[in-house]
Structure 1
Amino acid sequence: MVTTEPAARVAPRKWLDFSVTFLVTLWAGSLWTVCGIVAPQLFATLPERRLAGQMAARLFHIETWLGVVIAIALIALLAARKAFASSKAVLWLIVLTAGAPLASELILGPMMDAARSANDMARFGMLHGVSAALFFIACVSALALVWKTRQAA
């Protein structure tokens, strides 16, 4: 007599693997699109830099919180898959990919607003550079996350 129990356990595992791959791909793709295509095109095509900056800031805000939600979902999926022991690198990449934009949003955002309000454009530019570096780190760690999750699947 053949049991179906092992097959029954395989189906949820495949669903969890697919869900992790889907979320990582969605997250990385949206991050790369906003950072590498949309934001630069806003500045290249809109006649006012201030408007381009406002639109880019809104997109980065959305991208940051999308990343936080996806990071939470990924951590929950990894917990359901019991993949933490074998995949601490993936966990750290999730934290880095979500944490860098979150630091930009929560720490640098208010500082950039204050610098802009004070018309201290040198300080604003320096903070903007740090923010850009954090988003670049997130893009690179998203690439590593795609690679690591595909290896694990």
Structure 2
Amino acid sequence: MAKQSGLTVWINPVLVTLWVGALWMTALTASVLFQTIPDRQLAGQVAGRLFTIVSYIGLASGLWLLLQRLAGEGLSAFKQGLFWVVFFMWILVLIGEFGIQPLLAQLKASALPNDVMQSVFASRFKTWHGIASIAYLIECLLGLWLVIKSS
């Protein structure tokens, strides 16, 4: 294993903590929003904004962690479980933010002025929201593994 520079010694654990902590906290916050705010559309908008922020935290953190690992380990990084966990988490962020979320937004926009859940798009929305939720759960669990293995 290559020796880490002073910067990566502290920034890598901070980025892992920020990313994974944000994942778990946003999941909990979204649940609280839907339990607390009677207007489900408003709760969904706030939750969606939080998930977008977490996605960008994940994109930046994951890219840094992947590039740093490649720079420090070279091709042997591809033989490391931590590299692949970060890589799969990063891919899940890309799929969620740039694949699934735009689709959900389009379904919501197509349903206007009605709530998407009271529209002909409700079934498709539920399906894609479920896929997004499963991908997010997998990302959270991989993040938990990352925290445990990184310490």
TM > 0.5 fold call: yes
Aligned structure 1 segments of 4 or more residues deviating by more than 4 angstroms: 12-15
Q: Does 1:144 align with 2:145?
A: yes
- Uncovered stretches (5+) of structure 1, i.e. residues with no partner: 1-8
Question: How far has the Cα of 1:84 moved from its partner?
Answer: 5.8
Query: Relative to structure 1, is the Cα distance of residues 26 and 38 closer, same or farther in structure 2, using a 3 angstrom cutoff?
Result: same
Q: How far apart, in 1, do the equivalents of 2:52 and 2:94 lie? A: 9
Which one of 19, 39, 42 corresponds to residue 48 of structure 1?
A: 39
Question: How far has the Cα of 1:54 moved from its partner?
Answer: 0.6
Paired residue secondary structure (1:82): helix
Q: 1:30-109 residue pairs with structure 2 within 5 A?
A: 30-35=22-27, 37-82=28-73, 85=76, 88-109=80-101
- Contact kept, 8 Å, 2:104 with 2:125, in 1: the verdict is yes
Q: Deviations over 1:57-78 (max 9, x none)?
A: 1111111111000011112322
- Contact kept, 8 Å, 2:59 with 2:93, in 1: the verdict is no
The alignment of Structure 1 onto Structure 2 pairs a total of residues equal to 140
Alignment-derived partner of residue 115 in structure 2: none
Q: How far apart, in 2, do the equivalents of 1:99 and 1:67 lie? A: 10
Alignment-derived partner of residue 116 in structure 2: none
